[in-house]
């Protein structure tokens, strides 16, 4: 045991490295804000001290809380998130300036996004302080599952559900507008992880072998059928193609990781493609999205493809290095501050800037998978994989839609797009990843045998 303990790799806390990287992330966020002011108005924004000070205070709070309650947490995740959030705030502010210049009474979004970031940091702190051991969450597996289903059904309720831009994914609770699906995805990850830990042995049993792949047994198809029907329900009733793909893809990947059976990916992919094709034949809004994707320059698809075409022209005008922050015209793209913020970044920062942003997302996924590799419990491994897959799938769906790789969906780009529900939920996801990485990177407990002199002595009292 002593030899194993000596051979085990001990992670260092790296809190100093995290603080240094946070300073660099602030340079990115505040520097982009200053560049927007110089590009649009020719001067550094007058409120840059207050804006930069507030961003620095939020980052410092996060760092201090991590240092106190999760000292062994991954030191790279928080700076990456801070850099993406700061860059997104600067880009939304740049679009606000253009909208106000064109129409003084236009709605602005940057200030609201900063408020949502503050709420996200508060939730980040609460998750880290309240959830001291992620393994305790496994006791609430089915509670998370029922809560996720309830959240997915809430937009369909008559009094609180709201339809916006063709999708029924919002609810109104008094003055508060909220997108429950963003919270549901976190709860689905916790539910899938707890469920698969309990049932992965049965699900891993192989059935018939076809084309060199062991397919699952027919009696084990129940869970994937239920998840397939839920994802189809999201597509049909909420008209949300992106969330449908995200939820079903998340379940399939976690099922594959838990059982190590490629047959689940084959069966699940066939089921999803069959459901998507049936949805294309049956529903007009799906046909509009697919036709706009396949034939964007066809005059018959002019309305549905207008956003895609404007985004493609914007990114083409940006070229390799972009027009520069404040030098493009991203307001020509509908919803350039939310769904199409990647196209806006492509126009002003070019292909180089877009690739840098994608690299940051890739690092988030890589750190989540690295956390899963070193985690010592099965539940933590699956949760870390699931949270990393959520980021990977969401970025793929959004960027794939903007670049015309796949049909356009309505998801937001994590930490960049305007959207309070998404931003707050993503900060909670990062807190969970840091909590799991803190447990995974902690040194092993001292389990060495007592020395002979310390051994319990038996005393005969007779």
Region 96-115: what's the mean pLDDT?
Answer: 89
Q: Judge whether residue 31 has pLDDT over 60.
A: yes
453 falls in which pLDDT band (50, 70, 90)?
A: low
| Predicted local distance difference test score (pLDDT) of residue 4 | 52
**Which DSSP symbol is given to 9?**
-
The 10s digit of each residue's pLDDT in 243-291 is 888 888 998 899 899 888 888 888 888 888 888 888 888 877 788 888 8
Residue 11 tokens read as: 């992670």
| pLDDT > 90: percent of the chain | 47
Q: Tokens 């900060």: give the residue.
A: 427
Long-range residue pairs from 223-229, CB within 8 A, at least 24 positions apart, any chain = 223/195, 223/199, 223/251, 223/255, 224/251, 224/252, 224/255, 224/264, 224/267, 224/268, 224/271, 225/271, 227/251, 228/268, 228/271, 228/272, 228/275
461 falls in which pLDDT band (50, 70, 90)?
A: low
Q: Tokens 């022209």: give the residue.
A: 313
Helices (H), 260-301: 262-282, 284-294
| Predicted local distance difference test score (pLDDT) of residue 262 | 85
The 10s digit of each residue's pLDDT in 282-339 is 877 788 888 888 888 888 887 778 889 999 999 999 999 999 898 888 888 888 888 8
Of 95-104, 313-322, 344-353, 438-447, the one with minimum mean pLDDT is: 438-447
Of 1-5, 221-225, 228-232, 391-395, the one with minimum mean pLDDT is: 1-5
The more confidently predicted of residues 272 and 205 is 272
Mean pLDDT over the full length of the chain: 87
Region 157-172: what's the mean pLDDT?
Answer: 77
Region 85-96: what's the mean pLDDT?
Answer: 94
Q: Which residues contact 414 (CB under 8 A, 6 or more apart)?
A: 84, 361, 391, 394, 395, 422, 426
| Distance (Å, whole) CA 59 – CA 68 | 14
Judging by beta carbons within 10 Å of its beta carbon (0-12, 13-18, 19+), is residue 201 exposed, middle or buried? exposed
The 10s digit of each residue's pLDDT in 114-148 is 999 999 999 999 999 999 999 999 999 999 999 99
Q: Which residues contact 323 (CB under 8 A, 6 or more apart)?
A: 317, 347, 348, 350
Say if CB 360 and CB 80 are below 8 A apart. yes
Region 381-403: what's the mean pLDDT?
Answer: 93
| Predicted local distance difference test score (pLDDT) of residue 304 | 79
| Predicted local distance difference test score (pLDDT) of residue 414 | 92
SS3 362: helix
| Distance (Å, whole) CA 249 – CA 314 | 30
320-346 as b/e, with b when 16 or more CB fall inside 10 Å?
eebbbbbebebbebebbbbbbbbbbbb
173 falls in which pLDDT band (50, 70, 90)?
A: confident
| Predicted local distance difference test score (pLDDT) of residue 347 | 93
| Distance (Å, whole) CA 141 – CA 162 | 29
The more confidently predicted of residues 174 and 328 is 328
| Distance (Å, whole) CA 169 – CA 248 | 17
| Predicted local distance difference test score (pLDDT) of residue 375 | 92
């Amino acid at each position: 045991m002593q030899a194993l303990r000596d051979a085990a790799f001990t992670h260092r806390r790296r809190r100093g490295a995290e603080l240094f990287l946070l300073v660099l992330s602030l340079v990115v966020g505040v520097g982009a804000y200053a560049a927007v002011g110089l590009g649009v108005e020719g001067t550094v924004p007058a409120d840059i001290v207050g804006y930069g000070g507030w961003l620095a205070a939020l980052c410092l709070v996060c760092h201090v809380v991590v240092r106190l309650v999760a000292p062994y947490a991954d030191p790279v995740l928080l700076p990456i998130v801070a850099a993406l959030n700061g860059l997104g705030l600067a880009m939304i502010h740049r679009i606000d300036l253009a909208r106000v210049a064109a129409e003084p009474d236009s709605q602005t979004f940057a200030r609201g996004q900063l408020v949502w970031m503050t709420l996200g940091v508060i939730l980040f702190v609460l998750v880290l302080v309240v959830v001291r051991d992620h393994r305790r969450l496994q006791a609430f597996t089915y509670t998370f599952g029922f809560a996720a289903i309830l959240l997915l059904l809430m937009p369909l309720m008559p009094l609180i559900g709201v339809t916006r831009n063709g999708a029924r994914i919002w609810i109104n609770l008094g003055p508060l507008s909220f997108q429950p699906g963003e919270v549901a995805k976190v709860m689905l990850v916790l539910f899938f992880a707890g469920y698969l830990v309990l049932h992965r042995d049965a699900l891993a049993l192989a059935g018939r072998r076809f084309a060199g792949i062991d397919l699952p047994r027919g009696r084990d198809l129940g869970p994937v059928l239920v998840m397939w029907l839920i994802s189809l329900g999201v597509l049909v009733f909420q008209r949300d193609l992106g969330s449908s793909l995200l939820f079903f893809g998340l379940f399939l990947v976690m099922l594959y990781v838990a059982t190590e059976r490629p047959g689940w990916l084959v069966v699940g992919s066939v089921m999803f493609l069959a459901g998507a094709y049936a949805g294309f034949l049956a529903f007009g809004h799906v046909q509009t999205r697919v036709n706009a994707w396949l034939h964007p320059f066809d005059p018959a698809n002019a309305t549905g493809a207008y956003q895609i075409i404007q985004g493609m022209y914007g990114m083409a005008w940006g070229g390799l290095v972009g027009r520069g922050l404040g030098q493009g015209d991203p307001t020509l793209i509908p919803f350039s501050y939310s769904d199409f913020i990647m196209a806006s970044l492509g126009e002003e920062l070019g292909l180089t800037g877009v690739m840098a942003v994608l690299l940051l997302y890739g690092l988030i996924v890589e750190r989540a998978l690295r956390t899963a590799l070193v985690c010592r419990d099965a539940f933590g491994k699956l949760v870390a994989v699931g949270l990393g897959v959520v980021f990977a799938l969401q970025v793929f769906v959004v960027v794939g839609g903007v670049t015309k790789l796949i049909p356009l969906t309505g998801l937001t780009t994590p930490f960049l797009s305007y959207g309070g529900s998404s931003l707050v939920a993503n900060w909670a996801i990062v807190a969970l990843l840091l909590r799991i990485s803190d447990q995974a990177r902690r040194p092993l407990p001292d389990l060495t045998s007592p020395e002979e002199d310390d051994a319990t002595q038996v005393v005969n009292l007779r």
